[in-house]
Amino acid sequence: MKLRKRSIKLPREFYTRSSAVSIAQELLGKTLLSAIGGTITGGMIIETEAYEGPHDRACHAYQNRRTPRTEVMFGMGGHAYVYLCYGMHCLFNIVTGPQETAHAVLIRALLPEEGIEEMSKRRNKMTNLTSGPGTVCQALGITRRHSGSDLLQGPIWVEDRGFTVQTIEASPRIGIDYAGADALLPWRFTLALEKEKT
């Protein structure tokens, strides 16, 4: 038995707290991984956005709107919510909060770490492997089939690898101009990365 793990999968309790805004910030610096198609792929989360169900016009579950698509957001925190956007891109979110609290955090960008070769193949590129919410899904092999997947049991999960976050920047969310005043909320969080020299 190892005395200490270097990497710890985030526990259910991390996800079931009620503030998606807090969780969105705390997910920065954690590592998102997938084991789909036989290869582990993923990287450190560097950009997220919070969506808070009932009172957030930008959220698909605004006013607790329940549809087959949004149903998973009403489930327990720690599950995946994946949907198709613009007819061609899958976007990956982590459901947060307890049952009946339709909050979620959109994973917008990663720093590629694991399975870079496989991610390059899936993206058919060498660069910008996981630089946006659509590309993250493509690189990790995530599709709508994974909506509802449990991050504590399924092929997608998040680990704490001990990275210490120094500076978080907050800004308005992207692509939600239709949300009126809620479009101004500073619920997009990015990790300010120092220059990393080897």
Partner DNA sequence: ATGTCGATTTGCT
Partner DNA sequence: GCAAATCGACATA
Pick the stretch among 11-19, 38-46, 67-75, 155-163 that binds DNA (CB under 7 A).
Answer: 67-75
Strands 31-36 and 103-114: what pairing?
unpaired
Handedness of CA 105, 176, 148, 75 (dihedral sign): positive
Which residues, numbered 141-170, are part of the site for DNA (CB under 7 A)? none
DSSP code for 192: -
DSSP per-residue string spanning 36-102: ETTEEEEEEEEEEEEEEGGG-TTSTTGGG---TTGGGGGS-SSBEEEEEETTTEEEEEEEESSTT--
* Stretch 68-107 residues interacting with DNA (CB under 7 A): 68-70, 81, 83-89, 91, 93, 104, 106
Instruction: Select the residue interacting with DNA from 47, 49, 118, 182 (CB under 7 A).
Output: 49
Nearest CB to DNA, comparing residues 38 and 68: 68
As a whole number of angstroms, the distance between CA 15 and CA 94 comes to 8
Shortest reach from residue 112's CB to DNA, in Å: 14
Segment near DNA (CB under 7 A), from 24-32, 38-46, 114-122, 173-181? 173-181
Instruction: Enumerate binding residues for DNA (CB under 7 A).
Output: 49, 51, 58-61, 65, 67-70, 81, 83-89, 91, 93, 104, 106, 123, 125, 128, 131-136, 173-176, 178
